[in-house]
Structure 1
Amino acid sequence: MDFRLLGAIEVAGQAAPLRRQERSLLAILLLRANEPVPPAELVDLLWPEDPPADARGSLQVYLSRLRKALPGVTITSSTAGYAVQVDPESIDVERFRRQLASARTESDPVLRADGLRRALDLWRGDPLADLMPQATRDRLSAGLVEEHAAAVEDRLDADLLAGRHEQVEGELADLVRAHPQRERLMAAWMTALYRSGRKAEALQAYKDLAERLAEEFGLDPAPALRRLHLAILRDDPGLRAAAAKRAEGTVPRELPVDISLLVGRDDLLADAVRVLTQVTPSHLTGAAGAADSAGAGGMGGAGDGRGRVAVYCLWGGAGVGKSAAGTRIGHLVAESFPDGQLFARLQDVRGEAVSAHALLGRMLRALGVQPGAVPASAADRAEMFRQRTESLAILLVLDDALDAGIVAQLLPTGPHCAVLVTSRKPLPELTEAVHRQVTPLDGPTSQALLTRLIGRTLRDLPTLDSVAEQCVGLPLALRIIGSRLALSGDDALQSIAQALVDDDQRLDSMVAGDLAVRTSLGRTLKLADPQARQLLERLSLVGITEFPSWVAAPLLDSDEVTGGNTFGRLVDLGLVELVNGQRYKMHDLVRAYAAEQLALAGDRDEPLGRYLQAVLRLAGLVDNRLPHGLTVAARLVVPDRPLLPAAESDAIAAPAAWMDDSWPLIRAAVFAGLQSGHPVEAAELALRLNGYCVIQALDDLRAEVLSAARAVVKESGPLELYVRLAFGLLPALPDLSPADRLAAGEELLDLSEQLGSVELQVRAMFHISIGANQSMDLDRAQEVMTKALELTEQPDGPDDLRVFVLQQLSIIAAERRDFEAGAGWARELHAMAPPGTISEGDGLLLLGENEIELRRYDDAMATLTRAADIYRAVGNDFTVARVQAMMALVASRTGDTTLARELLDQAIDWDRRHPGTNLMDLVELNEADLMMALGGVEESRRTRLRLAEKAGASGQLTLQHEIQRLVDTDPRDPANQG
């Protein structure tokens, strides 16, 4: 059968006539022949605005009719969608594309123009004419229309190269009138007019265009047009000389078709144009336009009298858009090289290097050397190429270079020649070249490119922004996703977004036709040496995208210097980004690919074990130096291997800063260990992170890692480790009811007794006392803590836990309203707590609270100020805010309501910036006291009653009772007087 879509749709050989919707469905399937199209996309395209109630049912009917009407054509169905299975040659769209590609390989402009004309003859009118709503037809055919326009322009250029300017002059005039915005057509028309002896008309055409662009868009004509205008003004003999040479068929024009949409590269383009031609297009002038002029070292462009060929190297990671930028640069400067432009890909389809021997042979033939006259050896071919280009102005574009050695063999010698090289890694051996890195696009530019690629506005803009972010600034990824969404629109947006955040689906979703991020990454990784490849694969074990340089040493089982050098080679390949001198970044797409490669290599457990030990050693060294005062992890042994001298020195020198930078890495290591058979290392890491979480009030993080570790260790780890994890977890659960806390403490006491550990028994008693206290069972709370105190005083007792027992005894005394006893316990706690630790701050805070109740307000304010200084010094901003709330109470009680308001506002501001803590209950309670001081009796009473009810609902009966006592006894409340 034969399918024609380039005009009204026609099907030769159909068994029955097709209705309009059936032909529309067939056209959609044929445009993606042999590729499944999801039903949701088909429904969206067939009924873009008002789908029938049973659209899927109607779709099934159309498919059934298509199968009957097209005997011999298979329409398959799968979970991925429906696909029509046909020979691509049976579709005129595919024949057009193949003939187009074949014609463009012709170096002879006559043969190229004739081949392009034959391809264009397949067009019978507007593609998909008479089908579907216009908006849908535009969505489906936009790419085809652009391909047609580019083919027409290529054919006209070839005709001009063949000396047919008089034959195409009239056609060009019609096309320019119909498409005044296409500057390439304008350039062809100006050239044809000039060569036909109509110089004034050519200049007037340029003037009209320049005025229209300035008036409507505020833009100048493109650089090529400006250079052409200047050449016409000067009667540049090159215009006619080039035409004569081209007529002989010896001038190659091999640049690939320019990409239709290139964003975010203006500075780079301006810099390249300047270096290659010494012309800076005004609309591309940017920061790079004047940069590095000294570094160019005389590598100006054609006609500037330089002494050597200009070489400009673009390098960057996979998918970053090097080739697209190189192609655009080639087109921008093409007119400065009238003897032609040569283009060569230095890798074959398998990513293997193409030999200089083969490349030189092809380029010599493109320059007019007869096949029989091409020398046999690579050296002789290189010599002939240098001789042939010595007096020419040739632009040579070498795409995807693997190494500088091959590039060096291909360089022309003519001082008016220029070479543009793209590579996945830097080529510093080309010492005379200007080197520029092509980097990923920033966020706003990525979003803008994706939106323009889709061609319309989608409804769910937040999800679209998330999709753009997942493409990590790679134009290749953005083009793949953009092409998929251009057809499917909103219906597929959610599924694409979900796939992009799933490591198992991320790379599978980055495929469209022959474009695939996985393929591009694979070609880049082939350039890596074995050690660099191994490091990249194992970096996926780290679990986050940004990490310090020391991670390489345990992953490779090497020293830190070797690891750092290996990182440098990955940076050169664009697979890893250097964030600063000691930190690197690997985006999620590369991480997903690295994980795939590691799974294929089957080399995971041993490097992961070494890595977890390294993280555990560093975290242990740091945790032991943090001023949190906690001891639940103090009895853990710091691993003695592996040794990382530089990393350990940095960590020990600034433990708090090290943990600020490293907690995401530790968290990821916890989950990597839990998921990969390393529960002990994971659990110990969770405990090492516990103290830092207390300092920073990171209760969510604390609960997450400790609960995950406890769940796994309960099934497969040591009982003692499970119990320690529980002790770390309980304080991180503020919503735990008193009854549940009491039950948890009882269970842990039983397990601690089974282990025979006095230390763990004391910890369990501490939690039992807290639960009893909150439940108003103050006698039991006192009894349990008295016994715990006795255990800490035994000769072999856990003396380091005495501070926590004293803390709880102070709280119980205050609940009994024995504030003198509470203050005494607090002073004893303060005296024995390690200086500068949270424990010392806790002692002062408790002392200050008791002093408030004893109405020793001056002492209380001084004590609380000292406590705030300690908490602030260790970075515990949450408790600083809590102390400020207590200081506000002192200020309120002493009549300084202005200071009270200021202190409460500071605490509220902290809570607003860190939602999710339990600080606001205390703030509101002390605000109620301030209200009372300011005469807002009713409002104060309402606030207190609400907080009492809230405490009772959560089971905190002691707190409820205390708040109610305030309501009933506050002497400032008239209801309590008389």
Structure 2
Amino acid sequence: MKLLGCVLEYRSARSCVAVRGYAGLNGTETVTEADGRRRLRVRLLGPFEVRLGGEPIVVSGPKQRILLAALALFAGRDVPVDTLARAVWGERTPSRAKASVQTHVMRLRQQVGDGAISTGRDGYRLAADPDDVDVTRFAALLRRAAAEGDPAVERALLGEALALWQGEPLQSVRSDVLLDEHVPQLVESHLVAVERRVDLDLDLGEVDGVAGELTELLVRHPLREPLWERLMRVLAASGRTAEALAVYADCRERFADELGVDPGERLRALHLELLNAVPPDDAGEAAEPPALVPRQLPHDTTRFTARGAELAELDRLLEQAQPDATAIVLIDGTAGVGKTSLAVHWAHRIAGRYPDGQFFLDMRGHSGDAPVPPEAALDTLLRAAGVRPDLIPSTVEGRSAMLRTRFAGTRTILMLDNVATAGQVRPLFGGPGQLVVITSRNQLRGLVARDGARRLSVREFSAAAAACLLAASAGDDRIADEPDAVTELVALCGHLPLAIALAAEYVSRFRDNTIAELVDELRDERSRLDVLRDPHDEGTDLRATFSLSYNALRPEAARLFRLLGLVPGPRFDLFTASALDGRPRTRAALDELVAAHLVNQPGRGRFQLHDLLRAYASGLAEDLDPTERRAAIERLAERYVLLAGRARSVLSRPPRLREVVDIDRELDGVPEFDGHGDALRWIERDRDNLVGTVGLAAAHGLDDLAWRLAWLLSGAWLILHNVQEWVSTARIGLACAERLGDGDAIFLSLNNLAMAHTEAADWGEVRACFERALANRRARGDREGEAQVLSNMGAEPFRHGDFEGAVRMYEQALAALPEGGGGLFRAYVLLNLCGSCAEAGRARAALSYGLRALPLFREASERSYEAICLSNLADACVALGDYDEAMVYSDRSLEYFRELGRGRQIGHALVVRGRILHAKGQSDAASEAWREARELLRPLDDRRLPELDALLGDQGSGVGT
């Protein structure tokens, strides 16, 4: 719920419009102070909530929460240590109270920032703007209202103050002292403010919705006479004198039963006044109870939490509704996401605006029973509205017309829960003045397109909201004691509110076990849905809940959903779905899954399965016919091999690429890449699926596809520095090649794994792989393959700074190539010699080798290696003192690297460029180039960082190391 600020306009006490900078706890306004500190905001009037820099945080530790609450109650003022100690420990304060408070303040500062709590002479102060703490803002608004002479402005200020009230104060703050000393005063201030605002409502003649609010307050404060009095006056002012008299009768009966007394003098006088205002013939009738007004909304949950933004959006959607039309609000989302809880909570909040009745129907759109047909729903509604059964028409059209007639001129809420289709509910709309709240697992796009429904799609909880829900059941202390386990638990529950609530119940049931022990059970995806359930309550069985949505699908969509259980990564695209499906209408089936909220669509062309739905789909995939499952994985792997081959041809063309994959092969749905950036983006985006498909293919006997895909991905892993993925896929690829017994596949896979271990600096594994690869090639008389291994073996001495050793290895590789042969691979060896000679201080040799390699790369259109060669040539020219020629090479290499988006190579080229500029006397420009290089290379932990730090230190850049 977004807390409100200064009022621009005031419609009623429950629809105060805020426009100013009190950025409530869910606001989007300024999140930092002028000094750069992250802004701290605290909510105490309801669920305890803290935001730091606009982000919600969970303050761990009950004592830290008490301290923060105590400081917030006096925001902007010093709070003595004795007062803080009493708040935390009550009357049994520790002997060294000051030191104990100091320790807990230190821990609190670690969570909310050192600048949030300042130290005074005798205590501590919360360094937050009083407007950023709802309690102090509430009190300030009440003071302003009391001093205001204009009734309209006073009423607006009271409305703004009351909008801050979100429930019982100091929830989740376990301090008897704070609860005893502050909550009664806060509650009294709240009630007095409500009563004063109602008086102003009556004076100004604006009492719409006030009766409902007062009725809700009387549920919590049934013995407060000023509330009874104002409810009677509001009803009388609304022309509902008979109801006002009935309210007095209820009040008198309650006071007699609970206190043994009659209502006070003011209430008795008001009762007599109202009786005298009723005509004599109607007095007896007026004293009769009024007709029963339907109040069918389900009870509101006591643990509703963390939907402030959604509630604010629902309020906004309602404000947008046209007054001369039925207001239709559609709340959709996947099973277990909390649609009904949100709808019921919101409906209770706004029920006072709809005094003529609140109706509720479970339409059973996704349940074990048949959906409720429109004719049955209409019959139920008409009976609830007071129509005699014998007067209800027999047709849907007749019943719908009678419903509209019955509801004409009234203000009612109709909540239709668990709706399957738009046609199921269209005949139930009653006309202007009615609010229809619909919940559904389907998107019901027709209601939005044809009927003007306004949609709110409910998403999973944030990590902070999920932790709050866990704490409400399991206890704040247990949540605070195991923060890492809580984070993983929430993730394993997919942030789904129903799953989190079930996990919280489990944690609270086994109080002697740690949360980490539950996490261990949930890690197994196959049994996760069985752990998160109550065997005696079908409503908590997630597998059964998901199956209701799944069973409602058409056969094509149901088949695709089963196959999507094979997707190894969290996200996928139409390409992946089509490959698994192997049928022409995949897009339509996928769209049906999206509409049913079985698949999420976070962006155009991108899809994902919720974590728990993925577990459910994986279970269905395990039950597929083995032949069908293997065929789907083969289609996926085959398409990924072709696509990875095309990406590899764009990023870098290894000599044996076309031996591994025919990149010119035509295959439906396999796109081309528009340059290096496009290819890299695809690999980064689909990384989990690509890695997972290597494993899937290997596990299902598709060894030939598995090793090829692993080898094709190596070029991207090198560029992206994804060492872990490279090693894991290369190992699988080698195992598959060995099962095939294919010598060429084994050689390429060994070379691939050796290069992966090179990036991981696992030199023992590197040497073992290269020795096997070298023996493999020599046994086959493959001199070019032998040269390839020797060239790759030069990486180890190069990485260890033995540049002369690297030169010797690369010279062996060059000598191993057949005379006049080697093609593009000869260029790679020459390039390695160029770089190694440059590092070894042999600048003229480096220049010679680089100039021999450059035309070979240009002829093959190998832009990326041409750029590396140009950068090496620039380095060699610097060493030779030819700075003008060096700048020419440097400019072109940087241009190419930036075009290709190669961060590491850009950084290395900038190092060279800085040296050129420094040699030319342009020290400031040199420092700028080196600073940019360091920013690029620092996240990569690059070997040239110490060199850059030294260079910048020499230049007096002022940038610390």
Describe how 1:376-387 pairs up with structure 2 within 5 A.
none
Q: Does 1:176 align with 2:221?
A: yes
User: For residue 22 of structure 1, what is the aligned residue in structure 2?
Assistant: none
Change (3 A) 1:640 1:631: closer
User: For residue 320 of structure 1, what is the aligned residue in structure 2?
Assistant: 337
Cα displacement (A) at 1:394: 5.9
CA distance in 1, matches of 2:505, 2:796: 60
User: For residue 549 of structure 1, what is the aligned residue in structure 2?
Assistant: 574
User: For residue 290 of structure 1, what is the aligned residue in structure 2?
Assistant: 319
Cα displacement (A) at 1:728: 2.8
User: For residue 586 of structure 1, what is the aligned residue in structure 2?
Assistant: 609
Moved more, 183-192 or 446-455: 183-192
CA distance in 1, matches of 2:233, 2:491: 43
Does the CA-based 8 Å contact 2:564-2:580 persist in structure 1?
yes
Cα displacement (A) at 1:469: 4.4
Does the CA-based 8 Å contact 1:337-1:417 persist in structure 2?
no
User: For residue 422 of structure 2, what is the aligned residue in structure 1?
Assistant: 404
Which of the residues 739, 749, 757 maps onto 2:774? 749
**One-letter amino acid of the counterpart of residue 526, structure 1:** N
Cα displacement (A) at 1:198: 4.7
CA distance in 2, matches of 1:174, 1:427: 37
Question: What SS does the corresponding residue of 1:833 show, helix, strand or coil?
Answer: helix
Moved more, 466-475 or 515-524: 466-475
User: For residue 356 of structure 2, what is the aligned residue in structure 1?
Assistant: 338
Moved more, 451-460 or 371-380: 371-380
Does the CA-based 8 Å contact 1:360-1:381 persist in structure 2?
yes
User: For residue 676 of structure 1, what is the aligned residue in structure 2?
Assistant: 700
Which of the residues 568, 584, 587 maps onto 1:564? 587
User: For residue 878 of structure 1, what is the aligned residue in structure 2?
Assistant: 904
Which of the residues 695, 720, 726 maps onto 2:750? 726
User: For residue 28 of structure 1, what is the aligned residue in structure 2?
Assistant: none
**One-letter amino acid of the counterpart of residue 437, structure 1:** L
Question: What SS does the corresponding residue of 1:863 show, helix, strand or coil?
Answer: helix
Describe how 1:192-231 pairs up with structure 2 within 5 A.
194-195=244-245, 198=248
Change (3 A) 1:739 1:777: farther
Question: What SS does the corresponding residue of 1:508 show, helix, strand or coil?
Answer: helix
Cα displacement (A) at 1:709: 2.5
User: For residue 522 of structure 1, what is the aligned residue in structure 2?
Assistant: 547
Question: What SS does the corresponding residue of 1:909 show, helix, strand or coil?
Answer: helix
Moved more, 184-193 or 805-814: 184-193
Does the CA-based 8 Å contact 2:366-2:418 persist in structure 1?
no
Describe how 1:469-868 pairs up with structure 2 within 5 A.
469-488=491-510, 491-512=513-534, 514=537, 515-559=540-584, 562-602=585-625, 603-626=628-651, 628-631=652-655, 633-638=657-662, 643-645=667-669, 647-648=671-672, 654-716=678-740, 718-732=742-756, 733-734=758-759, 736=761, 741-770=766-795, 785=810, 788-789=813-814, 792-794=817-819, 797-810=821-834, 818-834=842-858, 835=861, 837-868=863-894
CA distance in 2, matches of 1:870, 1:498: 49
CA distance in 1, matches of 2:749, 2:300: 61
Does the CA-based 8 Å contact 2:232-2:247 persist in structure 1?
no
User: For residue 476 of structure 2, what is the aligned residue in structure 1?
Assistant: 456
Change (3 A) 1:325 1:812: closer
Does the CA-based 8 Å contact 2:366-2:419 persist in structure 1?
no
Moved more, 373-382 or 855-864: 373-382
Question: What SS does the corresponding residue of 2:657 show, helix, strand or coil?
Answer: coil
Question: What SS does the corresponding residue of 1:547 show, helix, strand or coil?
Answer: strand
Question: What SS does the corresponding residue of 1:544 show, helix, strand or coil?
Answer: coil
Does the CA-based 8 Å contact 1:312-1:433 persist in structure 2?
no
CA distance in 1, matches of 2:816, 2:229: 93
Cα displacement (A) at 1:758: 3.8
Deviations 1:14-46 (A, max 9, x none): xxxxxxxxxxxxxxxxxxxxxxxxxxxxxxxxx
Does the CA-based 8 Å contact 1:504-1:592 persist in structure 2?
yes
User: For residue 168 of structure 2, what is the aligned residue in structure 1?
Assistant: none
CA distance in 2, matches of 1:737, 1:523: 51
User: For residue 259 of structure 1, what is the aligned residue in structure 2?
Assistant: 301
Cα displacement (A) at 1:724: 1.2
Does the CA-based 8 Å contact 1:598-1:604 persist in structure 2?
yes
Question: What SS does the corresponding residue of 1:635 show, helix, strand or coil?
Answer: helix
Change (3 A) 1:236 1:351: farther
CA distance in 2, matches of 1:639, 1:833: 20
Cα displacement (A) at 1:681: 1.9
Moved more, 562-571 or 764-773: 764-773
Does the CA-based 8 Å contact 1:345-1:400 persist in structure 2?
yes
**One-letter amino acid of the counterpart of residue 918, structure 1:** R
**One-letter amino acid of the counterpart of residue 716, structure 2:** Y
Q: Does 1:436 align with 2:481?
A: no
Does the CA-based 8 Å contact 1:548-1:583 persist in structure 2?
yes
Deviations 1:283-313 (A, max 9, x none): xx5x44534x3xx47325xxxxxxxxx5443
User: For residue 73 of structure 1, what is the aligned residue in structure 2?
Assistant: none
Cα displacement (A) at 1:666: 2.2
Does the CA-based 8 Å contact 1:317-1:575 persist in structure 2?
yes
Cα displacement (A) at 1:371: 8.2
**One-letter amino acid of the counterpart of residue 619, structure 2:** E
Does the CA-based 8 Å contact 1:544-1:664 persist in structure 2?
yes
Question: What SS does the corresponding residue of 1:879 show, helix, strand or coil?
Answer: helix
Q: Percent identity?
A: 21
CA distance in 1, matches of 2:607, 2:218: 56
Cα displacement (A) at 1:361: 5.8
CA distance in 2, matches of 1:885, 1:134: 60
Cα displacement (A) at 1:400: 0.9
5+ residue gaps, structure 2, are 1-88, 90-173, 177-213, 236-241, 256-273
Describe how 1:95-244 pairs up with structure 2 within 5 A.
176=221, 194-195=244-245, 198=248
Change (3 A) 1:428 1:664: closer
Moved more, 376-385 or 798-807: 376-385
User: For residue 107 of structure 1, what is the aligned residue in structure 2?
Assistant: none
Change (3 A) 1:252 1:244: farther
Return the index of the structure with the highest Cα Rg.
Answer: 1
Change (3 A) 1:354 1:381: same
Question: What SS does the corresponding residue of 2:442 show, helix, strand or coil?
Answer: coil
CA distance in 2, matches of 1:735, 1:660: 19
Cα displacement (A) at 1:658: 3.5
Deviations 1:64-97 (A, max 9, x none): xxxxxxxxxxxxxxxxxxxxxxxxxxxxxxxxxx
Does the CA-based 8 Å contact 2:443-2:597 persist in structure 1?
no
Question: What SS does the corresponding residue of 2:458 show, helix, strand or coil?
Answer: coil
Change (3 A) 1:519 1:642: farther
CA distance in 1, matches of 2:297, 2:599: 31
CA RMSD of aligned residues (A): 4.9
Does the CA-based 8 Å contact 1:348-1:354 persist in structure 2?
no
Cα displacement (A) at 1:918: 3.3
Change (3 A) 1:175 1:864: closer
Cα displacement (A) at 1:586: 2.2
Does the CA-based 8 Å contact 2:576-2:636 persist in structure 1?
yes
**One-letter amino acid of the counterpart of residue 514, structure 2:** A
Change (3 A) 1:901 1:653: closer
**One-letter amino acid of the counterpart of residue 617, structure 1:** L
User: For residue 910 of structure 1, what is the aligned residue in structure 2?
Assistant: 936
Cα displacement (A) at 1:360: 5.5
Change (3 A) 1:386 1:730: same
Change (3 A) 1:566 1:902: same
Change (3 A) 1:744 1:480: closer
Deviations 1:85-140 (A, max 9, x none): xxxxxxxxxxxxxxxxxxxxxxxxxxxxxxxxxxxxxxxxxxxxxxxx999xxxxx
CA distance in 2, matches of 1:717, 1:372: 84
Moved more, 673-682 or 374-383: 374-383
Does the CA-based 8 Å contact 1:632-1:728 persist in structure 2?
no
**One-letter amino acid of the counterpart of residue 822, structure 1:** A
Cα displacement (A) at 1:828: 0.4
